[in-house]
Amino acid sequence: MAFFYRTRRALPIFRWRRHLSSSSSSSSSKVPLLWESNSTDSQQSVTVQLYSWGRGASGQLGGGIEEIRIYPSPVASFSLSPTFRLSSPIPGRLPSAPVLLPSSFNEGKVDVEIGISCGLFHSALLVDGNLWIWGKGDGGRLGFGHENPVFVPTLNTHLDSVRSVALGGLHSVALNSLGQVFTWGYGGFGALGHKVYHRELVPRLVEGSWDAEICHVATSGTHTAAITKS
């Protein structure tokens, strides 16, 4: 997956693509608007689009159907204030450009946290603390309380204030603004960190002996790691 953004006036159109993608498309009329900043200017905004491509046999591309996309195609969009500024780089978040700017340039800028993550058969999008997730649902990896697949980006209402997200093979991990880690999905090999091998259908807080705030998380197929900030 990847992000592209451009300055334009955004229109909230909620019509999903329903066909196979064998070529790229930039038609915003087919891309739903998932989120709009409260500070978005009524006349002008920055539209950020999420693109995906490759194998989508389990709906992980987010296009509404099982498909294979051989070119990057737009999946969703969101509208930001023309004065937005990307936040500092964090795993699972879109990093800002490493350019030193005068303090006057940053005055009035609105920080927006944006991130994406791809698991084995599921995907996630993070925008300003909100988490959308979609794809194969077995094992509970989507965190909606069931194991059904979801073919379009869907907001997970069990979480808020999310700072970063990491997707594994059959499980998912999220870090919130309080430095707390939540995991859900298949619990085999102890990947969830809950001292049992049970699956979790909704996000569950990971508890341990550490006292410091957790600042980074990462995951792979069947294991998870975190870094604390002392």
**Are 70 and 22 in contact, with CB atoms under 8 Å apart?**
yes
How confident is the model at residue 47, as a pLDDT? 86
Phi first, then psi, for residue 42 (nearest 5°) are: -70, -25
**How many domains, in total, are found in the chain?**
1
Looking at residue 32, what is its pLDDT? 84
Full-model pTM: 0.80
| CATH number for the domain harbouring residue 116 | 2.130.10.30
Tens of each residue's pLDDT in the chain, 230 residues: 776 655 444 333 233 333 444 444 444 457 888 888 776 555 677 888 999 999 999 999 999 999 999 999 999 998 887 776 655 455 455 444 443 334 444 455 667 788 899 999 999 999 989 999 999 999 999 999 999 999 999 999 999 999 999 999 999 999 999 999 999 999 999 999 999 899 999 999 999 888 889 999 999 999 999 999 87
Q: Which pLDDT value is given to residue 102?
A: 42
Instruction: Give the integer Cα–Cα distance in Å for 80 and 41.
Output: 8
User: What distances in angstroms separate CA 16 from CA 63, 113, 121, one per listed residue?
Assistant: 7, 25, 20
Q: What residues make up the domain containing 135?
A: 2-229
